[in-house]
Chains A and B, each alone.
Chain A
Amino acid sequence: MTNLDIIMVIVRVSISAFVPLCFLAVCVTMERRVAGFIQDRSGPNRAGICGIRAGGLVQNLADGLKLAFKEDIISEHVEHKFLYVLAPIISMAAAIISFALVPFADTLVLDGKSYVMQGIPWDTGILWFLAITGFSVYGIILAGWSSTNKYSLLGALRSASQVISYEIPMGLAVISLLIVYGSINLSDIARFQGQTWLGFIPMWGILLQPLAAVIFIVAAFAECNRTPFDLAEGESELVAGFHLEYSAMKFAVFFMGEYVAMFASSAVIVTLFFGGYNIPFFDTDFLIRNIKPVAFVLLVILPVFMFYFAKWIRRNNRSQYLRENDPRKAEATIYIRCFWILIAIIEVFLLAILAFAQPDTAAAHLLVALMQICTFLIKVTLMLFVYVWVRWTIPRFRYDQLQMLGWQKLLPLALLNIFVTGAIVVALG
């Protein structure tokens, strides 16, 4: 192994392990702000460090610190303390590992060697995701059972049976996708979606397999225990469900595990149905061959985008009433300056590429990989927004309705989809 190999291993593993954790902050903030927007209120906007509130991001820090320093209580009536402590660890670990095989950029070629941009460079793709999400059931069951509490037990029963039963339509939806893509390797699937049909329609999974997309997304919502399938928590009837007895950081680990699982499943949805890391209409080869025009376009677009972004920050960051020397306006100025400095640094790099880089060199490959990572993260953020949007829009199902939907609607639909897809693929040869 050369030094480059070791560096690439470290880079890939840290991206696949730490990006979900960093997105926790994005998810939680987005959840609260969007909830505030939908319910016509502000959401968290008070916690700040020296007046810097970062649009509610600092609230996460405050909550995290609060949870970390809270007293960690394990009730006397908990008989199996080891399993009680193990449960949050399992659900968090399973959530992080399930992201390991999702590609976040096209295969990177450096010095004639190619590096598959996944945490674990395996070709078993979607099966790994299905295997690891299966493990998250253990966390739920152990938490509910070892809490020795009727509400927790009921929550765990509901949640576990829901996760187990929605795994089946999810797996069947994946089968019809695999017939179309002809591979279970998520990198191959993402590359397939980089093609265009008739020259202008991207061959995304959602266009090729709309039914499978609907089934998979619904099942993914249920697997994450998100509304409208969050009967496991059901505050009005079960208080909080399986994590009722957990306090302080143990609860926080459950909470974080839920959001990391949400990130991982939206990453998989994006990879399967929305083109993965592909920038629409531009495949990797095209970008690498035309690196100079691409760098030039970025060079022009970024300041324009930043100009409107700064306007947006100004518009949203001011007090609701007239104040002398409005501190929120000063705050907005600081944000805008920070972002301009960031843009300036990126512009310098882009200028360097524009001046010196030749097509098909390491710099070109790296720039394209970075652009693809950004595209992937933007798509995942949009999918996360859909999760949040659905949560604050659609009310909860009744439990029997939920099981009926899984077994009597999604399962036959998924089977039908497999037959129809198979027939069409055979007919087209």
Chain B
Amino acid sequence: MYIDTLFSIFALIAIAGSLGLVLFRHPMQSALCLAVTMISLAGIYALLSAKLIFLLQLIVYAGAVMAMIVFIIMFLNLREKDLPEERERFTYLIGGAVLLIPVAWFMIKVMKSIPGVKNSIVGNGFGSIKELGQVLFTNWLVPFEIISLLLLVTLVGAVVLAGIRRESND
């Protein structure tokens, strides 16, 4: 089925991106690899019929958060000579890999114990904006409102704080 093929492609890109994140030396390249991982994760969400999560992943993680990180790295304007020398890189790499073996073994066991389900597109508006909104605004209304208020307070607070600091500088 083409869903399985797409899933393998997205998964491989995501893994390649996260490998790049760890292995590239320059922070800009690492950050872009992370962005690639975020976008391919969005693809996997889309395969799971979670349209809204797909778009939020694109807007929030791939768009806003990663753009912010890339922006800050650009702001620092690091050059090759500014990067620290990592002499014992491979020792640490091998040590870390050895330490992770039990965790990986455990994860593989967990994965194998999960019953296999066939990949298919779920119908009946599952994961669409309307259905998700109805669940959010009936079963989860109070937490949703509190979180949105919290975010609004952060936004307004950031603007106010920035305004105060500039006035005191003048």
Q: Taking the complex as formed, is B129 at the interface, i.e. its CB lies under 8 A from any CB of chain A?
A: yes
Pick the contact of A160: B52, B67, B77, B152 (CB < 8 A): B67
Q: Taking the complex as formed, is A144 at the interface, i.e. its CB lies under 8 A from any CB of chain B?
A: yes
Q: Are B70 and A138 in contact (CB under 8 A)?
A: yes
Pick the contact of A141: B26, B64, B74, B163 (CB < 8 A): B74
CB of A329, distance to nearest CB on chain B (Å): 54
Q: Are A411 and B159 in contact (CB under 8 A)?
A: yes
Task: Give the interface SS of chain B, mostly helix, strand, loop or mixed.
Answer: helix
CB of B83, distance to nearest CB on chain A (Å): 12
Residue interface bits A221-247, CB-to-B below 8 A is 1, else 0 = 000000000000000000000000000
> Which residues of the partner chain A approach B155 to less than 8 Å between Cβ atoms?
168, 411
Q: Are B70 and A131 in contact (CB under 8 A)?
A: no
Residue interface bits A404-417, CB-to-B below 8 A is 1, else 0 = 00011001000100
> Which residues of the partner chain B approach A167 to less than 8 Å between Cβ atoms?
64
Q: Are B63 and A141 in contact (CB under 8 A)?
A: no
A401 to B153, CA, bound (A): 24
Q: Are A145 and B74 in contact (CB under 8 A)?
A: yes
Q: Are A130 and B74 in contact (CB under 8 A)?
A: no
Question: Given A80-B28, A141-B71: A407 and B55 within 8 A (CB)?
Answer: no
Q: Are A124 and B74 in contact (CB under 8 A)?
A: no
Pick the contact of B59: A123, A127, A144, A156 (CB < 8 A): A127
In A105-159, the 8 Å CB interface with B consists of 122-124, 127-128, 130-132, 134-135, 137-138, 141-142, 144-145, 153, 156-157
Closest to A79 in B: B80
A407 to B62, CA, bound (A): 23
Taking residues whose C-beta sits less than 8 angstroms from the other chain, chain B's interface range is 20 to 34
Q: Are A135 and B129 in contact (CB under 8 A)?
A: no
Q: Taking the complex as formed, is B35 at the interface, i.e. its CB lies under 8 A from any CB of chain A?
A: yes
Q: Taking the complex as formed, is A316 at the interface, i.e. its CB lies under 8 A from any CB of chain B?
A: no
Task: Give the interface SS of chain A, mostly helix, strand, loop or mixed.
Answer: helix
Q: Taking the complex as formed, is A420 at the interface, i.e. its CB lies under 8 A from any CB of chain B?
A: no
A156 to B77, CA, bound (A): 12
> Which residues of the partner chain A approach B35 to less than 8 Å between Cβ atoms?
138
Closest to A403 in B: B162
CB of B6, distance to nearest CB on chain A (Å): 16
> Which residues of the partner chain B approach A122 to less than 8 Å between Cβ atoms?
51
A157 to B76, CA, bound (A): 11
Q: Taking the complex as formed, is B100 at the interface, i.e. its CB lies under 8 A from any CB of chain A?
A: no
Question: Given A130-B59, A160-B71: A124 and B28 within 8 A (CB)?
Answer: no
A138 to B64, CA, bound (A): 11
Q: Are A135 and B63 in contact (CB under 8 A)?
A: yes
> Which residues of the partner chain B approach A138 to less than 8 Å between Cβ atoms?
32, 35, 67, 70
| B58, B59, B64, B77 interface centre (most CB from chain A within 10 Å) | B59
Pick the contact of A408: B52, B59, B163 (CB < 8 A): B163
Closest to A131 in B: B58
> Which residues of the partner chain A approach B80 to less than 8 Å between Cβ atoms?
79
A52 to B92, CA, bound (A): 70
Q: Are B71 and A161 in contact (CB under 8 A)?
A: yes
In B120-167, the 8 Å CB interface with A consists of 128-129, 152, 155, 159, 162-163
A79 to B25, CA, bound (A): 13
Pick the contact of B58: A83, A134, A145, A408 (CB < 8 A): A134
A-B CB contacts (within 8 Å), total count: 77
Q: Are A141 and B128 in contact (CB under 8 A)?
A: no
Q: Taking the complex as formed, is A252 at the interface, i.e. its CB lies under 8 A from any CB of chain B?
A: no
Q: Taking the complex as formed, is B18 at the interface, i.e. its CB lies under 8 A from any CB of chain A?
A: no
Q: Taking the complex as formed, is B75 at the interface, i.e. its CB lies under 8 A from any CB of chain A?
A: yes
A137 to B35, CA, bound (A): 13
Residue interface bits B76-88, CB-to-A below 8 A is 1, else 0 = 0101100000000
In B18-77, the 8 Å CB interface with A consists of 26, 28-29, 32, 35, 51-52, 55, 58-59, 62-64, 67-68, 70-71, 74-75, 77
Closest to A135 in B: B63
> Which residues of the partner chain A approach B128 to less than 8 Å between Cβ atoms?
123
Q: Are B59 and A134 in contact (CB under 8 A)?
A: yes
Q: Taking the complex as formed, is A184 at the interface, i.e. its CB lies under 8 A from any CB of chain B?
A: yes
Q: Are A153 and B59 in contact (CB under 8 A)?
A: no
Q: Are A83 and B74 in contact (CB under 8 A)?
A: no
Q: Are B59 and A157 in contact (CB under 8 A)?
A: no
Closest to A400 in B: B166
Q: Are B129 and A184 in contact (CB under 8 A)?
A: yes
Closest to A171 in B: B59
Question: Given A83-B28, A131-B55: A144 and B163 within 8 A (CB)?
Answer: no
Pick the contact of B67: A80, A124, A144, A164 (CB < 8 A): A164
Q: Are B74 and A156 in contact (CB under 8 A)?
A: yes
Closest to B28 in A: A145
Q: Are A134 and B67 in contact (CB under 8 A)?
A: yes
CB of B170, distance to nearest CB on chain A (Å): 12
A54 to B26, CA, bound (A): 51
Would you list 26 pairs from A and B whose C-beta atoms are within 8 A, ordered by A residue?
A: A80-B28, A83-B28, A123-B129, A124-B52, A124-B129, A127-B52, A127-B55, A130-B59, A131-B63, A132-B58, A134-B58, A134-B67, A135-B62, A135-B63, A138-B67, A141-B70, A145-B74, A145-B77, A153-B74, A153-B77, A156-B74, A157-B75, A160-B74, A164-B64, A164-B67, A408-B163
Q: Using A80-B26, A134-B58, A142-B70 as known contacts, list a sample of 20 further A-B pairs with CB atoms less than 8 Å apart, ordered by residue number in A.
A: A124-B51, A127-B55, A132-B58, A134-B67, A135-B63, A137-B63, A137-B67, A141-B70, A142-B32, A153-B77, A156-B74, A157-B74, A157-B75, A160-B74, A161-B71, A164-B68, A184-B129, A408-B159, A411-B159, A415-B152
